[in-house]
Structure 1
């Protein structure tokens, strides 16, 4: 499997960042790490290996950016408003520096976004904030309500980065063109969060697949089983 390591200065976050890229062509898929995870996490836990066939055959090209969770949602040393503000810079980095690269390298206008656990929050939040750029959202064991990281604080920036709240009010017609999957094990502690988000999309009239895996828990073996099934949904 072709692998490329990238490091560059990000104007959006004001420092260097890193990313791994897998494959030589195909539909671009951006895969976020879990809570405070690094750009190599999805490789280390063999999530990328689980979809090697899709990569080697040129069906997809996978981009694994770094996170800044320790500077944003998980930084308890700063005010929650500052955590949310920092996340907006990360959102801009993904849009302007990762998505744009993926578009240029693959020739596709839209990307897929994916992630496990808190990475699924990033995928869903980014996808619904930028539906004109996102064709698919693949969640695995996700948690989506950012209020748990805000210590009771809430403002407009928090609202527009909290999918359970802002999705119902979206008017962008591009949201109806996305393929959305909520994959979760039946014993995953995030089960109800996925059921809730699926119900929110149903109320909005948005098609989605709530994939509850029998016997599954909140762990990488379940996500490695899910990911190939979800990439198979891509119609390019």
Structure 2
């Protein structure tokens, strides 16, 4: 199992210490987001850094595994939808401002220009990764969404709320029943990759991933979509295979 460097740092946005772990010594910085309710160590515990071991050892990529606050945002069933959306937006700001700045510092401390970051996520982490790319394209060069859930209505409630709308790529694109070209920043096909299987527990992810790809295509935001076979289930084993293949394709 590949060993990383552990960090625990204060977040002013979230008003707490946040943990993350870094693997590799240089190359393209890649922000990794866990599945729903997950933690920063889930990537290591499920062998995800090992799936890209060659790229990490050779300095082609550097992996930054972030923590989540899903228990206070997407999964906080005892809170109002508005409160859940507020916490999700704070988490988005943490990822795209505070953590992104630290990634730049750790990845290229001597570089004057901040490196563009890639992001990758699984399950709801795929949603977080895609949001980073679409809403902050000047910070994030691209995203990989693996078995993603992109319809935030199931977690945050009605898209009539402005903050929920901002937090849901599908709802934002379909604002007022039509595709709104001005909501999200343009993503090129080679910088937004979506992958999902057709096996066990992939039903919601398959529907959401296809819907997002179709909606992006309708409004001229192309993405690369791969739908894998009926043996590909909603679990870390397959996410490792997908991440390893896409990472080699993009950075190898």
Band the TM-score falls in, shorter-chain normalisation: over 0.9
* Runs of at least 5 residues in structure 2 that lack an aligned partner in the other structure: 109-113, 174-178
1:232/1:222 Cα in 2 relative to 1: closer, same or farther (>3 Å)?
same
1:73/1:173 Cα in 2 relative to 1: closer, same or farther (>3 Å)?
closer
1:173/1:127 Cα in 2 relative to 1: closer, same or farther (>3 Å)?
closer
1:200/1:141 Cα in 2 relative to 1: closer, same or farther (>3 Å)?
same
Distance 1:135 1:178 in 2: 10
- Residue 97 of structure 1: how far off its partner (Å): 1.8
Distance 1:106 1:152 in 2: 39
Distance 1:152 1:91 in 2: 19
Partner of 1:169: 180
* Runs of at least 5 residues in structure 1 that lack an aligned partner in the other structure: none
For residues 141-162 of structure 1, what are the alpha-carbon distances to aligned partners after superposition, in whole Å with 9 as ceiling and x for unaligned?
1111110013457401000110
2:71 match: secondary structure: coil
Partner of 2:145: 139
Partner of 1:130: 136
Normalising by structure 1, we get a TM-score of: 0.93
Which segment is superposed worse, 3-12 or 203-212? 203-212
Runs of 4 or more above 6 Å deviation = none
Which segment is superposed worse, 177-186 or 48-57? 177-186
For residues 153-202 of structure 1, what are the alpha-carbon distances to aligned partners after superposition, in whole Å with 9 as ceiling and x for unaligned?
74010001101122443546653486111111122212121111111111
Verify the 8 A CA contact 1:51 1:228 in the aligned structure 2: yes
For residues 30-60 of structure 1, what are the alpha-carbon distances to aligned partners after superposition, in whole Å with 9 as ceiling and x for unaligned?
0001111011011111112111111111111
Q: Give the RMSD, CA atoms, in angstroms.
A: 1.9
- Residue 109 of structure 1: how far off its partner (Å): 2.6
1:96/1:151 Cα in 2 relative to 1: closer, same or farther (>3 Å)?
closer
1:70 match: secondary structure: helix
For residues 47-94 of structure 1, what are the alpha-carbon distances to aligned partners after superposition, in whole Å with 9 as ceiling and x for unaligned?
121111111111110111110111111111111101111111111111
Distance 2:249 2:99 in 1: 22
